[in-house]
């Protein structure tokens, strides 16, 4: 029950975000939506008005009363009620086509970022620098970046409501969108196509920051992880490399290079764990390592049944991955 209430709250939050456009693309969509809502509001008012008038004016059929005059085949009426909807649909079509031109110009041959949807997290690779991150995408403020959208397994849909349209990610069929933010800030994105158990917890944070800070962040992502030289963290690194962690995860600067799960090189600098399901705190990290299934039911990472000591060593190591 509590979870349902929580989901409903999230759903309302999504809808509200649509009405808070923070990029030229999102604003174009918002403006079109307002026009459509007003037009539909007028149609609704006219239809309800006519029905209400008829109900009040002619409340009941009376004995002996003649049928009202029949209008079948009246050319004038037929033409008017065909022309008005045709006009409305044509105007909305033209406005929609114009909005698509603003919100979705053709992509450049080389995208800035390749975003891949996985069950249930987002991978982002910055093509020029080679930085690879998960569930947290940084962009420079005021600059449109071209995204290529891929999927590793099933259909997903990338959507950051405040920054623009949504776009499906299809395995083997890249799609494109542009992403831009007018103001610095953190924008919450979702997967908006049902993709399995944890579809609802496939969040992505888009962090828009001034160019200089963005460059600093991007450079930091390229730095390999330092190897701890002692203590529990060193034991944690050894454990990470011995256990099957390395079959899924990569940490630059270690022997782990797999690309199945999120790249963990700068795990400790991320705000969230499990694509948004919990904050990245020391206690949540330990909960996750003890049993990921308890935190995020159905997540692809199994319960490794680590001992308390192993959990503690691994967590100490992962906290060094700034």
Instruction: List residues binding ligand CUA (CB under 6 A).
Output: 117, 120, 156, 191, 193-195, 199, 202
Structure tokens of 191?
A: 């997967």
Nearest distance from C-beta of residue 166 to ligand CUA, angstroms = 11
User: Beta-strand (E) ranges in 127-246?
Assistant: 132-134, 136-140, 145-151, 156-159, 167-169, 175-179, 185-191, 204-209
Answer whether 192's CB lies under 8 Å from 157's CB. Answer: yes
Phi and psi at residue 161, to the nearest 5°: -50, -40
Nearest distance from C-beta of residue 276 to ligand CUA, angstroms = 12
Which residue from 237, 277, 246, 231 is spatially nearest to 121, judged by alpha carbons?
Answer: 277
C-alpha dihedral (294, 155, 280, 287), degrees to nearest 10 = 10
CA 40 to CA 20: how far, in whole Å?
21
Assign 291 to helix, strand or coil: coil
Looking at the Cβ atoms of 19 and 194, the one nearer to ligand CUA is 194
Structure tokens of 158?
A: 């990338």
Nearest distance from C-beta of residue 191 to ligand CUA, angstroms = 3
Which residue from 247, 257, 258, 248 is spatially nearest to 224, judged by alpha carbons?
Answer: 257
Nearest distance from C-beta of residue 214 to ligand CUA, angstroms = 26
Nearest distance from C-beta of residue 195 to ligand CUA, angstroms = 3
Nearest distance from C-beta of residue 107 to ligand CUA, angstroms = 22
Looking at the Cβ atoms of 29 and 195, the one nearer to ligand CUA is 195
How many residues make up the chain in this entry? 322
Looking at the Cβ atoms of 121 and 240, the one nearer to ligand CUA is 121
Looking at the Cβ atoms of 117 and 236, the one nearer to ligand CUA is 117
Answer whether 120's CB lies under 8 Å from 157's CB. Answer: no
Looking at the Cβ atoms of 200 and 318, the one nearer to ligand CUA is 200
Looking at the Cβ atoms of 197 and 211, the one nearer to ligand CUA is 197
Answer whether 105's CB lies under 8 Å from 178's CB. Answer: yes
Assign 44 to helix, strand or coil: helix
Looking at the Cβ atoms of 124 and 191, the one nearer to ligand CUA is 191
Nearest distance from C-beta of residue 61 to ligand CUA, angstroms = 54
């Amino acid at each position: 029950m509590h979870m349902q209430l929580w989901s409903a709250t999230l759903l309302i939050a999504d809808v509200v975000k649509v009405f808070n456009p923070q990029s030229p693309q999102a604003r174009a969509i918002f403006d079109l939506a307002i026009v459509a809502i007003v037009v539909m509001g007028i149609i609704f008012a006219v239809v309800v008005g006519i029905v209400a008038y008829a109900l009040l004016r002619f409340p009941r059929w009376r004995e002996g009363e003649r049928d009202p005059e029949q209008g079948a085949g009246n050319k004038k009426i037929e033409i008017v009620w065909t022309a008005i909807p045709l006009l409305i649909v044509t105007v909305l079509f033209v406005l929609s086509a114009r909005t698509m031109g603003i919100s979705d110009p053709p992509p450049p041959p080389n995208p800035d970022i390749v975003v891949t949807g996985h069950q249930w997290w987002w991978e982002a690779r910055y093509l020029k620098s080679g930085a690879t991150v998960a569930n947290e995408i940084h962009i420079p403020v005021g600059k449109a970046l071209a995204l290529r959208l891929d999927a590793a397994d099933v259909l997903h849909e990338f959507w950051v409501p405040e920054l623009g349209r949504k776009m499906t990610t299809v395995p083997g069929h890249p799609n494109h969108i542009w992403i831009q933010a007018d103001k610095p800030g953190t924008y919450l994105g979702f997967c908006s196509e049902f993709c399995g158990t944890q579809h609802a917890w496939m969040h992505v944070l888009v962090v828009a920051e001034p160019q200089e800070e963005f460059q600093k962040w991007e450079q930091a992502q390229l730095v390999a992880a330092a190897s701890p030289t002692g203590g529990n963290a060193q034991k944690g690194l050894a454990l990470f490399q011995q256990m099957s962690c390395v079959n899924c995860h990569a940490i630059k600067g270690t022997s782990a290079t797999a690309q199945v799960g999120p790249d963990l090189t700068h795990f400790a600098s991320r705000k969230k764990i499990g694509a948004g399901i919990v904050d990245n705190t020391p206690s949540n990290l330990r909960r996750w390592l003890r049993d990921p299934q308890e935190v995020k039911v159905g997540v692809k990472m199994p319960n490794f049944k680590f001992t308390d000591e192993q959990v503690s060593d691994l967590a100490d190591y992962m906290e060094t991955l700034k």
